[in-house]
Amino acid sequence: MDMNEIKEIFFQECEEQLAELETGLMALDEGDDDSETVNAVFRAVHSIKGGAGAFALDDLVRFAHVFETTLDCVRSNQLEPTKDVIKVLLKSADVLADLTNAARDGGTVEESRCSALIVDLQALANGAAAPAQTAEVDDAAVIAAEPDIGFTPVQVQFDDLEPDTSFTPVPFSFDAFGDDVPCAAKFLITLTPKADLYLKGNETVLLLRELSQLGEIAVSCDTTQLPGIEQIDPEGAYLTWTITLTSSAGEDAIRAVFEFAEWDCELDIQSVDPAEAGPPDVSNEEMSDADDDVSPVNDGLKGDDIALAQPSAFVNSAVAEIAGNAEDAASTGPNVVNLPSAVSQKTQEAEPTALNTQATQSRPAKSAAASTIRVELERVDRLINLVGELVINQAMLAQSVTESASSGTSAVTMGLEDLQQLTREIQDSVMAIRAQPVKPIFQRMSRTVREIADMTGKNVRLVTEGENTEVDKTVIDKLAEPLTHMIRNAVDHGLETPEKRQAAGKPTEGVLRLSAKHRSGRIVLEIADDGAGIDRKRVRQKAIDNGLITAETVLADDEIDNLIFHAGFSTAETLSDISGRGVGMDVVKRSIQALGGRITIVSTPGKGSVFTMSLPLTLAVLDGMVVTVADQTLVVPLTSIIETLKPEADHIHGFGASGRLIAIRDSFKPMVDVGQILNFTHVPTDPLAGVALLVDSDDGGQSALLVDAIQGQRQVVIKSLEANYANVPGIAAATILGDGQVALIVDVEAVVSASRSGALKSEMSLAAVG
């Protein structure tokens, strides 16, 4: 595996982490205050930072670090995850995603966005740190104490403290403690690797070697867990290492050594020196002074009484508690390793909480990961193709057996039936491999909503439902664009400004509901807003201005609503850069139709609009009606057919030179002679001898496709014509029928449009309603 492959895996994992991050933040936003959620969020950013560090992606590391620091404050309850805080965090997640993409694709992210957020994040983190001194003294004391290692336990004269309880805390910087106070400290590290550690290519000796570079180390190995040679698992892990490290590097540096190992081993880092007995003071200069004072005492552990010159809030609460323990320790002599002081326990509890929980949480995550595998899409596609072949072959075999004389033997027939059953099951299972939940795309939408809400100054809450609904990957990939567009439209046009909403007596926060569900073999997506609904008067006026309809045209409400799907239709009064970029709902409709889907709108004035999209679950197979046109076998997608009928003589009316209309329940629909349009024949098809398929066309109108006969209805595997040939106007794709012959799938929209313009063009333009 070369570096690029590893990097590729890293970016794939980043994508997952980013999704996790967003899910977590959204959950927090909805009031989930589970510490698991916070930890998951933290872990996601931490993992990205770690990986980015390994690849020297400095921008990413820098941002992730600041992000992580702020999240750490949330995690340690120093920072309340209010709506505003989460807004910043969500934005940061967006930037982090952008940075990741930039790192992968070589783009850049706007420096200003990045730095502005860094400032915000730092402000949050600092804001959290300041109150922490008063409100969260215990935590603060622990954090402060940790790098402050040059101390012996002290006995505090409480008499001296009592009068000073009103003392105000002194602000200080945590960072300074960690980085700027170089004093050699002793750590006791217990390391019990698990088998996983070795499986992942880690090696204890390397960790030890790295530790030895931090300072002086003494290592001992506990081999008591080692079973006899007859029971030993050569890949097992049985050893426990005890390392005594004297180093001026802080605990962070030691943890860093175990960064990639800590989840696969039991790691316990204790600061041996009972320095935790409490900093006599918190300001930096005095800190070092204190160091000087106290360090000589180090060896003796005499427990000298030290009168604190300047007692602080720490001393008031934390130290008071500790002092008793320290006294114990002092009396039992210099055996500080097992010092049961409140502080040493807290050091483990508070600071490494994250690490411990990370360890416990990452384990189930890992076992879940073990049950899934990453497979290149290409391989799955190949399998799907082959299964498609199998289905066709099976059909061909069945057909030839039926035709041959051997069809009489029941064994063969039964065997064939079993085969058919099996192939169908295989096909379904293979299709299921490609099925993916729509969740990632929904998450992307939440970002879109945030961005547009920001740009338009609207308050929007996105509610998603059914995000685990599964659909073929190709559909998901092609769904992003139309969906983004519709979400943009819904926020920009659908929802009102907070002021307008207030005036209308609605809550200022608009709600956008995005839902997905399965319905009769299709996936149905709904985008519902609780905005003003479609302003039909304006839409109508606009349509008249654009020449789509005449002022006299009488249209039903839903017909007016459907006008927004026409080309060049934008009702926004000002062209914004959000939705006024020249593409409108017509583009959305076209891309949905290109996927074999339909889109409808239901709008209630004052209550909002609901866009409903219904899409096939896969683009690999399609339900089609197999028809005969001029001796050719064609497939018409079933989704576009409304009904089929046998034309009767008195329902056919000539129209102009060659046009024909058919009367269906008193409304006239143009007849489209498929054979002529596709140039299979020059002789007009006799409508009375053929069958008419009533289909929906672009503008919501209907046309009747005239074919010679209907052969049946069948599920067909879609084959590309472009792969080896080229796009054929009027033809959407090809398929292979049971007899092994290629049949063409009709592009209904193109054929209907061609019947109007008189010629097939490969790029059909939308015909306006007349």
Partner 1 sequence: MHQTSKNLADGARELIAFRIGEQEFCVDIMSVREIRGWTPATSLPHSPGYVLGVINLRGAVLPIVDLSSRLGMKESDPSARHVIIVAQVYSKVVGLLVDAVSDILTATDENIQPTPEVSSELDKSFAKGVLAIEGRMICLIELERLFPEVESEAA
Out of 56, 229, 405, 723, the only residue in the binding site for partner 1 (CB under 8 A) is 723
Q: Which of 386, 396, 397 is nearest to 737 (CA)?
A: 396
Backbone angles phi, psi at 584, to 5 degrees: -120, -160
Out of 426, 721, 767, 768, the only residue in the binding site for partner 1 (CB under 8 A) is 721
The smaller minimum CB distance to partner 1, of residues 19 and 731, is found at 731
Select from 198-206, 280-288, 383-391, 613-621 the region that touches partner 1 (CB under 8 A): 383-391
Asked if 742 is part of the footprint of partner 1 (rule: CB under 8 A), the reply reads yes
Q: Do 218 and 189 meet the contact criterion of CB atoms below 8 Å apart?
A: no
The DSSP code sequence of 422-437 is HHHHHHHHHHHHHEEE
| Bridge partners, 637 (sequence order) | 624
Distance in Å, CB of 477 to partner 1, minimum: 22
742-746 and 632-637 as β-strands: parallel, antiparallel, unpaired?
parallel
Select from 182-190, 421-429, 579-587, 723-731 the region that touches partner 1 (CB under 8 A): 723-731
The smaller minimum CB distance to partner 1, of residues 78 and 735, is found at 735
Backbone angles phi, psi at 457, to 5 degrees: 70, 30
Residue 719 to residues 95, 592, 688, 722, Cα–Cα distance (Å): 40, 19, 33, 9
Out of 197, 282, 743, 748, the only residue in the binding site for partner 1 (CB under 8 A) is 743
Which residue is associated with the tokens 């685990």?
468
Interface pattern 187-216 for partner 1 (x via CB under 8 A): ------------------------------
The smaller minimum CB distance to partner 1, of residues 142 and 391, is found at 391
Asked if 685 is part of the footprint of partner 1 (rule: CB under 8 A), the reply reads no
Asked if 734 is part of the footprint of partner 1 (rule: CB under 8 A), the reply reads yes
Select from 37-45, 141-149, 505-513, 677-685 the region that touches partner 1 (CB under 8 A): 677-685
Out of 57, 161, 736, 748, the only residue in the binding site for partner 1 (CB under 8 A) is 736
Asked if 425 is part of the footprint of partner 1 (rule: CB under 8 A), the reply reads no
The DSSP code sequence of 695-718 is EE-TTS-EEEEEESEEEEEEEEE-
Asked if 758 is part of the footprint of partner 1 (rule: CB under 8 A), the reply reads no
Structure tokens at 398: 């069945």
Residue 238 to residues 189, 224, 241, 261, 548, Cα–Cα distance (Å): 17, 8, 10, 16, 80
Alpha helices of 76-202 — where are they, by DSSP H?
A: 83-105, 111-135, 137-145, 158-161, 174-180, 195-199
Distance in Å, CB of 708 to partner 1, minimum: 15
The smaller minimum CB distance to partner 1, of residues 214 and 760, is found at 760
Asked if 740 is part of the footprint of partner 1 (rule: CB under 8 A), the reply reads yes
Asked if 741 is part of the footprint of partner 1 (rule: CB under 8 A), the reply reads yes
Distance in Å, CB of 49 to partner 1, minimum: 42
Select from 167-175, 245-253, 707-715, 716-724 the region that touches partner 1 (CB under 8 A): 716-724
Asked if 728 is part of the footprint of partner 1 (rule: CB under 8 A), the reply reads yes
- As a whole number of Å, the end-to-end CA separation of the chain is 62
Asked if 729 is part of the footprint of partner 1 (rule: CB under 8 A), the reply reads yes
Interface pattern 627-646 for partner 1 (x via CB under 8 A): -----xx-------------
The smaller minimum CB distance to partner 1, of residues 156 and 678, is found at 678
The smaller minimum CB distance to partner 1, of residues 459 and 681, is found at 681
Distance in Å, CB of 745 to partner 1, minimum: 11
Out of 230, 657, 725, 765, the only residue in the binding site for partner 1 (CB under 8 A) is 725
Cα 111 off chain centre by: 24
Out of 315, 322, 626, 760, the only residue in the binding site for partner 1 (CB under 8 A) is 760
The smaller minimum CB distance to partner 1, of residues 229 and 726, is found at 726
Asked if 128 is part of the footprint of partner 1 (rule: CB under 8 A), the reply reads no
Q: Do 89 and 125 meet the contact criterion of CB atoms below 8 Å apart?
A: no
Asked if 413 is part of the footprint of partner 1 (rule: CB under 8 A), the reply reads no
Select from 200-208, 539-547, 654-662, 675-683 the region that touches partner 1 (CB under 8 A): 675-683
Q: Do 505 and 546 meet the contact criterion of CB atoms below 8 Å apart?
A: no
Burial 663-688 (b: 16+ CB within 10 A, else e): ebeeeebbbbbbbbbbebbeeebebe
Size of the site for partner 1 (CB under 8 A): 29
Out of 197, 243, 319, 744, the only residue in the binding site for partner 1 (CB under 8 A) is 744
The smaller minimum CB distance to partner 1, of residues 124 and 736, is found at 736
Out of 392, 475, 476, 592, the only residue in the binding site for partner 1 (CB under 8 A) is 392
Q: Do 476 and 617 meet the contact criterion of CB atoms below 8 Å apart?
A: no
Instruction: Determine how many CB atoms are found less than 10 A away from the CB of residue 625.
Output: 21
Structure tokens at 655: 């129209």
The smaller minimum CB distance to partner 1, of residues 401 and 721, is found at 721
Distance in Å, CB of 738 to partner 1, minimum: 11
Instruction: Name the helix (H) or strand (E) containing 324.
Output: helix 320-331
| Bridge partners, 690 (sequence order) | none
- CB-side exposure of 383: number of CA atoms within 13 Å? 16
Question: DSSP secondary-structure letter at 491?
Answer: I
The smaller minimum CB distance to partner 1, of residues 323 and 717, is found at 717
The DSSP code sequence of 339-361 is ---HHHHHHHHHTTHHHHHHHHH
Sheet architecture: strand order including 265-271? 215-222, 240-247, 185-193, 265-271
Distance in Å, CB of 719 to partner 1, minimum: 5
Asked if 730 is part of the footprint of partner 1 (rule: CB under 8 A), the reply reads yes
Summarize as ranges the residues that interact with partner 1 (CB under 8 A). Answer: 385-386, 388-389, 392, 632-633, 678-680, 719-721, 723-726, 728-731, 734, 736, 740-744, 760
